[in-house]
Amino acid sequence: MPAAIPPSEARLVVTGAGGQLGAELLRRAPAALGYTRAELDITDADAVRAVLAAGDTVLNCAANTAVDRAESEPDAAFAVNATGAAILAAACAEVGANLIQVSTDYVFPGTGDTPYETDAPTGPTGVYGRSKLEGERAVLDLAPTARVVRTAWVYRGVGADFVATMRRLEAEREIVDVVDDQRGSPTYVVDLAAALLELAARPDTPRVLHATNTGAATWFEVARAVFEEIGADPRRVRPTNSAAFPRPARRPAYSVLSDRAWTAAGLTPLRHWRAALHESLAGCHATRPVDAIPSGRTDFA
């Protein structure tokens, strides 16, 4: 169990610090208290209470993001995404800490054709989405000051995320087939981390918000953009559909999240996804090695 934090040292606390978002938050806020899964099990109520103090702001990046595995191992998904979130929320309410819960586009059914507003009807189609939605509800019910931030299609461009995978496949294959029937907003983890840190300093915002890079694209369009950015021929990426890549968990066909509530709250809008992608790949080329660091979910075809 981690050592207790004296109230006088209360500050930003990042759970799930071993993942790509948690790691980026710590890079941008080195004074934060970061806990990886090995260092803090958020399903252990005693351990959670031991690290929190009045006035802390907790950014919960801990999550079970194994979307396909969740279909056959639902208990594992709900343990972290729902029970763990509830435990964090209850502990924050008990000690007087603020909580920001990171959630997902998977809480929506994915059948829309206009960006989902924060109050749009939810309706997850798989275990992962249901577990995250249950976590959202627990957080909002148990912690009066807690907020939920939904995001989508997060990448850094290294490890095993979509952008990194496209870089690797460009070097390995002459032709790459990528689905063109799933649309969302690619979100650069650097921009998302900056947005969450801005939010952490603004306790006056609505309780549910969406934060993604603006604009929308299909995975196919993102893949072609990656090829262009690294100097490869984008025509080597061919469109296909989800039926060509059957998975245990059905992917949402439409995952675009509206930032209307975010901007209305006076928070800084995230830039367009293509500008963010350009920065993430600046200086990259086909032979550049793809570094291995913990990454987010890899639920793409």
Q: Collect all residues with Cβ–Cβ distance below 8 Å to 168 and sequence separation of at least 6.
A: 290
Phi, psi of 227 (to 5 degrees): -60, -45
Pairing assessment for the beta strands 183-184 and 217-218 based on DSSP bridges = antiparallel
User: Does the annotation count 128 as an active-site position?
Assistant: yes
* Cβ count within 10 A of residue 26: 20
Cα 16 versus chain centre, distance: 11
Give the CA count within 13 Å in the CB-facing half-sphere of 92. Answer: 32
* Cβ count within 10 A of residue 233: 11
Q: Pick the catalytic residue: 128, 155, 188, 254?
A: 128
Residues 113 and 103: their CA atoms lie apart, in Å, by 21
Q: Would you please indicate which residues are annotated as catalytic (active-site) residues?
A: 128
